[in-house]
């Protein structure tokens, strides 16, 4: 009887060790699989730009990318946004900042890291906000108006091109991609 009890304890301990090992291996494999989701490709994406409104001298355009493909993909980082207009308007590239008045990753001084956004197949979305100003600065009476915008997505080329009416009273800023179509990580 004493030998049987000892054998059962040994068997139980060995079984628990096997279960813990399997759970650990499965957890690592799941994380490795999640990290292998490919970057979004041009053929998977529908890209749109639309006015995101204005508030106290700030204006914004929302860049929304939607995965129309049949597999999940990821987007991380900032779009490169170039704005221009007629021959007399100097082209400018939006400054990459984590956040601004209308959106981004949180308030001033935030320590939120730039997220890797997973876009699920057939409809997952990510967005970024381009911000500018519509109040003349200093002695200026009026501001330039950008009418053309070029949006280059991370890891992709060529850029997407759109028409817009974006006031250029200050240098535009662009924020990182976040999950969803609102330009904010918590909306």
Using one digit for the tens of pLDDT, what is the confidence trace for 45-97?
999 998 887 777 889 999 999 999 999 999 999 999 999 987 777 789 999 99
* Residue-averaged pLDDT of the chain: 82
Cα–Cα distance, 176 to 162 (Å, whole number): 19
Please report the pLDDT score of residue 9 as a whole number. 61
**Which CATH fold topology does 42-179 show?**
Immunoglobulin-like (2.60.40)
Please report the pLDDT score of residue 77 as a whole number. 95
Using one digit for the tens of pLDDT, what is the confidence trace for 129-153?
999 998 888 887 888 899 999 999 9
Please report the pLDDT score of residue 144 as a whole number. 87
Is a pLDDT exceeding 50 seen at residue 30? no
Using one digit for the tens of pLDDT, what is the confidence trace for 113-128?
899 999 999 999 999 9
pTM, full prediction: 0.76
Is a pLDDT exceeding 70 seen at residue 109? no
User: Domain spans of the chain?
Assistant: 1-36, 42-179
Half-sphere exposure of 133 (CA within 13 A, CB side): 13
């Amino acid at each position: 009887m004493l030998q049987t009890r000892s054998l059962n304890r040994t068997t139980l301990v060995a079984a628990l060790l096997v279960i813990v090992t399997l759970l650990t291996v499965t957890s690592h494999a799941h994380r490795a699989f999640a990290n292998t989701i490919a970057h979004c490709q041009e053929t998977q994406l529908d890209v749109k730009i639309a006015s995101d409104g204005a508030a106290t001298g700030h204006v914004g355009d929302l860049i929304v990318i939607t995965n129309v493909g049949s597999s999940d993909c990821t987007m991380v980082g900032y779009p490169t946004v170039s704005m221009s207009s007629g021959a007399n308007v100097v082209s400018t590239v939006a400054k990459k900042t984590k956040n601004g008045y209308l959106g981004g990753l949180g308030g001033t001084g935030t320590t939120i890291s730039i997220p890797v956004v997973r876009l699920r197949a057939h409809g997952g979305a990510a967005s970024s906000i381009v911000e500018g100003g519509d109040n003349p600065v200093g002695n200026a009476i009026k501001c330039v108006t950008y009418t053309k915008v070029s949006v280059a997505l991370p890891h992709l080329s060529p850029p997407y091109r759109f028409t817009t009416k974006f006031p250029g009273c200050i240098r535009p800023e662009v924020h990182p991609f976040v999950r969803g179509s609102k330009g904010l990580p918590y909306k």
